[in-house]
């Protein structure tokens, strides 16, 4: 499901979003070996079209293999990878990215992110190298990850950065980054959107979900995408989890539930 379709089909509000990133994707951190290949193939079978990997996950080869085993056309899949912190110089970005493409057995990625900012990196140099890769056609879109609001604004000022991938659940206050993203027509990609599995046990979200016939995890994902400019990338090895996480497009949280859920970030401010 692409953000544009999602907006047209399910939303009554006129959200401004970029028509680029599918609203839900599969996270692959800690998926390895044959299990990783099987999980990604199952997800693609179930309808996922957006896969999130990274150089440091050590599974780009398996993700590439899964895409090829899925039988889907490469252009039907939105593939993200991330430059590791040890590779944040112009030369290392170019070299390591070409190795990523080899492991992924693809000629391009849909989104290339700086995985984490470091004190030592030169942001202008890193982003201009990534924009060069975009010009060359091996990267369709450039983004950042784990950027605080000041660094996110700075990166937007340097060129076409489309997203900041940050840890975001109802427990997390990412509203400054959200505000920047909305003002500049960018997307926030929510990682660990299920609190690494912990959200499933949240009694408050469970109670809200029971009104809609949904689980706490589904409420979390729905609350995130219902912000209007958020894409979510839950990780799930388990096929039932994968399907459950996709099943969030047939209900809409009320305005009251949206704002009640937002209050959770105050209670969990320490996380």
Q: Is 251 in the site for ligand NAP (CB under 6 A)?
A: no
CB neighbours of residue 267 within 10 Å? 11
Q: Is 22 in the site for ligand NAP (CB under 6 A)?
A: no
Q: Is 197 in the site for ligand NAP (CB under 6 A)?
A: yes
Q: Which pair of tokens denotes residue 124? A: 């202008």
Binder to ligand NAP among 59, 165, 177, 231 (CB under 6 A)?
165
Q: Is 96 in the site for ligand NAP (CB under 6 A)?
A: no
Q: Is 194 in the site for ligand NAP (CB under 6 A)?
A: yes
Segment near ligand NAP (CB under 6 A); pick from 121-129, 231-239, 251-259, 262-270: 231-239
Catalytic residue among 57, 108, 191, 212: 57
Q: In angstroms, what is the minimal distance from the CB of 169 to ligand NAP? A: 7
Segment near ligand NAP (CB under 6 A); pick from 87-95, 189-197, 246-254, 255-263: 189-197
For the chain, the C-alpha Rg in angstroms (whole number) is: 18
The four Cα atoms 27, 28, 30, 35 give a dihedral, to 10 degrees, of 130
Binder to ligand NAP among 146, 155, 226, 227 (CB under 6 A)?
146
**Residue nearer to ligand NAP on the CB measure, 6 or 147:** 147
263 burial (CB, 10 Å; 0-12 / 13-18 / 19+) is exposed
Q: Is 118 in the site for ligand NAP (CB under 6 A)?
A: no
SS3 235: strand
Binder to ligand NAP among 7, 89, 90, 237 (CB under 6 A)?
237
SS3 224: helix
**Residue nearer to ligand NAP on the CB measure, 48 or 191:** 191
Contact by Cβ (8 Å): 76, 68: no
Q: Is 204 in the site for ligand NAP (CB under 6 A)?
A: no
Place of tokens 């309808």: 47
Segment near ligand NAP (CB under 6 A); pick from 147-155, 176-184, 206-214, 230-238: 230-238
SS3 187: strand
Long-range contacts formed by 63-69: CB under 8 A, 24+ apart? 63/28, 63/36, 63/104, 64/103, 64/104, 64/105, 64/106, 65/37, 65/105, 66/36, 66/37, 66/38, 66/39, 66/40, 66/41, 67/40, 67/104, 67/105, 67/106, 68/105, 69/37, 69/41
Residues with catalytic roles: 57
Binding site for ligand NAP (CB under 6 A): 27-29, 52, 115, 145-146, 165, 191-197, 200, 217, 233-238, 241, 244-245
């Amino acid at each position: 499901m692409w953000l544009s379709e999602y907006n047209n089909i399910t939303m009554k509000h006129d959200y401004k979003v970029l028509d680029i990133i599918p609203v839900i994707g599969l996270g692959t951190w800690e998926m390895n070996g044959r299990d990783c290949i099987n999980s990604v193939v199952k997800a693609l079978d179930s309808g996922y079209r957006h896969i999130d990997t990274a150089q440091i996950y050590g599974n780009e080869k398996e993700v590439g293999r899964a895409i090829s085993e899925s039988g889907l056309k490469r252009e039907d899949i939105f593939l993200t990878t991330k430059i590791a912190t040890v590779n944040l110089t112009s030369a290392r970005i170019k070299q390591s990215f070409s190795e990523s493409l080899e492991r992924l057995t693809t000629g391009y990625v849909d989104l290339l992110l700086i995985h984490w900012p470091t004190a030592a990196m030169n942001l202008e140099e890193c982003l201009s190298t990534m924009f060069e890769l975009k010009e060359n056609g091996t990267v369709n879109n450039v983004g950042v990850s784990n950027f605080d609001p000041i660094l996110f604004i700075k990166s937007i000022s340097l060129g076409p950065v489309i997203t900041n991938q940050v840890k975001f659940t109802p427990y997390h206050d990412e509203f400054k980054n959200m505000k920047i993203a909305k003002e500049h027509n960018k997307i926030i990609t929510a990682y660990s959107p299920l609190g690494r599995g912990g959200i499933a046990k949240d009694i408050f979200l469970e109670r809200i979900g029971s009104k809609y016939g949904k689980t706490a995890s589904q409420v979390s994902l729905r609350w995130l995408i219902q912000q209007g400019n958020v894409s979510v990338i839950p990780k799930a090895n388990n096929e039932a989890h994968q399907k459950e996480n996709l099943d969030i497009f047939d209900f809409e949280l009320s305005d009251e539930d949206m704002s009640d859920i937002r209050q959770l970030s105050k209670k969990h401010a320490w996380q």
